[in-house]
Amino acid sequence: MSTRTGALIATLALLAVGGMVGCGGGESEEGEGPEASSESTIPSSLRAVESGAEDTIDLILAGDRQQAVEAAKGLDEAAHGEAASDLASAGIPAATIDQLRSRAADAAAIAEEGEPVAVALAANRVLALVPGFFTAYSDPVPPDVLRLDYLDFELKLEALAGNRPKAAAAGRSLEQTWNGLRGQVVDAGGESEAKSFSDHVDSVESLLMGGSDEELADEAQHGLDLVDELERVYSG
């Protein structure tokens, strides 16, 4: 999972290393992969996909259409390039790799003229696949931490779109994912971070019952910041 500050620069660097051009239902169902370790085996091509999706979301919501288009193009190129090859080598089914390519192409196709929230949602559909891909590798950070990232993005974007049922579905998935992850975070030394995220999940539940879409989107953004803190529990 990339840190939001400087994320686009990170994506550009990753894509350059790989020799490529460029700068939140139905997720992957791959089985459990290697256990987490102190060193990551996740290839840079998949980090580029992850960062490219996040960059596209952040940039389009910030009103930087030109850079968002470049990020979406880079995302599409990564998905159709080394990422696809690396995933195939890791044993990811061809149909799932095709799903990645299709979603990335969809995000790139609407980036130039699509409504900002629609572009962001398309990019987040790419991010939705990444936690499943990461289970094929070892990494200090559990894949479900990135899944929380995707779900808070989905919650924020559906709230901004005024789609309350889909926002509620994202909120339920967020709670379920967090319930399965919380104990691992505490065991890793993140007791205070776990409490903060539990408070966030409780706030989401409350806002879904009686808050405004704007309040819900703001709380989801708070959750995205907290996910960065969860990541640091594992990566320092």
pLDDT in tens, 70-114: 999 999 999 999 999 999 999 999 999 999 999 999 999 999 999
Per-residue confidence (pLDDT) for residue 143, from 0 to 100: 96
Residue 203 CA to its chain's centroid (Å): 21
Angle at 113 between CA 5 and CA 8, to 5 degrees: 15
Per-residue confidence (pLDDT) for residue 28, from 0 to 100: 36
Angle at 17 between CA 10 and CA 148, to 5 degrees: 40
Instruction: Write down the architecture of domain 142-236 according to CATH.
Output: Up-down Bundle (1.20)
Amino acid at 91: G
Per-residue confidence (pLDDT) for residue 3, from 0 to 100: 43
Cα 172 to Cα 143: distance, rounded to the nearest angstrom: 18
CB neighbour class for 219 (10 Å; exposed up to 12, middle 13-18, buried from 19): buried
Domain boundaries defined on the chain? 1-140, 142-236
Per-residue confidence band for 25, with pLDDT thresholds at 50, 70 and 90: very low
pTM here is: 0.84
